[in-house]
Amino acid sequence: MKLAYMMTTPEAGTMPLCWGGDPPEHILSRVAEIGYEGIELQVRDPGEFDTAAFARMVREAGLVITAVSSGPVTAADGLFLTAADRGVRERAIERLTSVLRLAAEYRVHATIGGMRGFTKWAPDRATGLAWFRSAIERLLVSAEPIGAHIVLEPQNRYQTDFLNTIGETLAFIDELGAPPQLAIEGDLYHMALEEKSLIAALVTGRRSGRMNYIQIGDSNRLAPGWGSLNWVDILETLKAIGYDGWLAMEFTQKPDSETCARQAHDFLRPLLRRTS
């Protein structure tokens, strides 16, 4: 398993759950010097920054891009796939289509988390789910010819009112006919809030063949080691189920990103060595 840190792209500004606000060159160099191998990107609008130049910057820092996430689209622009306003929903699909193109350019997947919104914004739950399903179907049509992949992130009930667990998200994918361009990721902070058993959910996700990415945050959404999750059990489980992909850091940047990045790396790296 390899470690990645999360940062905002130049047009996205700052976010509470990743490193942002500093010059990109500084963030990338510090992340690499601390010992991370990859960088996950939180993107607002790919049309507002030089994507090729940014990719070169990542390579020059000795890192690889691991994924493209869409969190800033909601935080900055308020675009949701289940918004009550149809125009907002359409703009959300358009923006996500541009994120998909960026992900294809970087040869990584694009994640949809909080951008799905809430079904309670619709006249009823069935309508909200239908809006979301239609959006995903349209995005899949755009993804297939460019080789892009969409990853759905189960999130806790305080951030969305559907697709809260691994099992629910897998069932949704099955209802769509299990398209190969659609996968899931596990976010340990969300999973700790929603799953009956975090360990069993990891096993279920891996056995499905669709869980290809893990995001990391402790029980209190601080850096690993500053909360109460049993990281030895988690990492041993991931090893036992044959997961050898990325562990991407996503947690509150307190007291500051430099301190958080070092804490997460220095806490997790020895545990990973013990499980190898």
Terminal-residue alpha carbon distance, the chain: 9
Query: Is residue 158 over pLDDT 80?
Result: yes
Topology of domain 2-275 in CATH is TIM Barrel (3.20.20)
Query: Is residue 96 over pLDDT 80?
Result: yes
**Pairing of the two strands 211-216 and 38-42:** unpaired
pLDDT at 11: 95
Residue matched to tokens 């398209």: 179
Q: How confident is the model at residue 75 (pLDDT cuts 50, 70, 90)?
A: confident
Q: Are 247 and 3 in contact (CB under 8 A)?
A: yes
Task: Give counts: helices (H), strands (E), the chain.
Answer: 10, 8
- pTM value is 0.96
Q: How confident is the model at residue 29 (pLDDT cuts 50, 70, 90)?
A: very high
pLDDT at 76: 86
pLDDT at 69: 96
> Cα angle at 113 between 75 and 47, to 5 degrees?
55
CA dihedral angle for residue 228, residue 217, residue 189, residue 24, rounded to 10 degrees: 160
